[in-house]
Structure 1
Amino acid sequence: MGRLAVVGAGGFASEVLALVEASNAAAGSPVWQVVGVLADWVPDDDFLDSWDVAHLGATDAHTRLDADVSLVVAVGDPDARRALVARIGSGRDYATLVHPSAALGRHVRLGAGAVVCSHASLTTHVVVGRHAQVHAGAVVGHDCVLDDLATVSPGAIVSGGVHLEEASFLGAGAVVNPRVTVGRGAVVGSGAVVVSDVAAGTTAVGVPARPLAR
C-alpha cells in the first residue's frame, strides 16, 4: 500500500480523492493511504470532513513528510500545476493515478503525476506526460502524445495522431481532429472543434475553432 498526499483542496482534489477511494474499493484492499492534503489556504471543514482528510499545511510542508509519501498535484489549471511542481522541486516521488473505470489499451505510457479520471478512454500507442490530466469521460485516440502538464477536460475527444504540447488545455467537450497539434500553453474553448493546428499561447474557440483576437 502506497502513502499519498494530495496537493490542492479544490474541486479537482475532490475528484482525485474519489478516484483513490474507487481504486481502493476495486482492489478489495487499500492501494493508497491518503495521509492528507497540502494547500496554501485552510480548506473548509466540509471538504476535510467529507473526505476524512487532514490539512497538512501549505505546499512547502511537503518537506516534513516522510520520504515514502508520494504526491499528486490535483489542480486543474496547467499553469498553476506547473508552478506547484516547480515549487516542490525535485526529490519527491509523484503518484500516477488511473480510475478503475478508465479504459487503457495496449502501449499506453503514463508519466509520473499523471491522472486519468473516471470513464476516460485511451486507446493505443498513447503517451501521456508528467502531471498531465485526462478528465472524466474524455477520449484520446491512437498515436496521440500529451506532453507534460497537458489537460483534456471532461468529455473532450482527441482524435488519432494528435499532439498536445506542454501545458495545453482542452475545454470540456472540445473535439480535436486527427493529426492536429495544439501548441504549448494554448487553450481550446469548451465545445470547440479544432480542424487545424493551434499556435502556442493561443486561445481558440468556436466551430471550427479560430483564435481569439488579441
Structure 2
Amino acid sequence: MNISISGFDNTLFIPSDGGIATLVICNDLFFRSVVEDILDTYTKKEGNNRTVIYDSNHDPLNFAKDILIVTDIYSYDLANRTITAVLYKNIQDNSDIDAVKLAQIETGILDILGAINTGFSQNLNYQTEISINDLLKMAHVGLEANTGNNYLDKLYGIIDSAQQLLSKRLVILINQRQLLSHSELQALLQYLENNHFSVLFIEKNCKDKLNEENILAIDDDLYDFSTNS
C-alpha cells in the first residue's frame, strides 16, 4: 500500500504483509487539516480528502470500509455495537450449537415468563422462540476489554478485532505513537508481521524510528521528505 497527499511529490509505502509506517506532519495547521479531511472521509461526511491510500493494484482504499481509525486507544470500546454485532453473527455462523440444550433453555425461560403474575388486567406479550442471538445478548457476550492500563495489550485487541471481525485492511492511529516505548514499538512490529497486518501512525513528530519502518515527514515549511527502511 502507498499513501499520497495532494501537492506533495513523495509517497509513503505501507507494507501490506505486516508492518508499521508513520506519516509525520510538523506544521500544526496542516496536520489539523489533513486529519480533519481523513476523519470526514472516514465518517462519510462531505469533504475534499487530499490524502489517498492505494493498494498494490493502485486501487484506492475505501476509508469507511477498509480502514479503522483510532484517535484514543484507552477510550476505544472493544464491546461497541459494531464489533458486537459482527461477533454475534460470527458465533451464529460458525458455532455448532446444541439444538437440544437450546430448546431446554427456551422451555425454561418461557416457563418462567408464563408464571409471572403482574396483577394487571392485560396479558404480557413476549416472543415464544429464543435464538442463540437472544442468549448472547442476555449474557452480555462481548470481547474481553483490557481493564488494566496496558496500552499495548489494548492495541493488540483493537488490531485483532479490526482484522478478524471487521475485515479491515489497515488501522490508522492518530497521535498515539508517543505512548509506546521503543521496546513496545518493536513488540508491536513483531506482532503485526506475525499476523500480516499493518498500522499507520499519523503524528506531529517522531523521535524514535524503527529500522524496519518507513516514514514520510512534512516539516513546518511544508517540505516533504521520506525515509524508507
Q: Provide TM-score, normalisation by structure 2.
A: 0.27
Structure exhibiting the larger radius of gyration computed from Cα positions: 2
Higher strand share: 1
Q: Provide TM-score, normalisation by structure 1.
A: 0.29
Higher RCO (Cα < 8 Å, 6 or more apart):
2
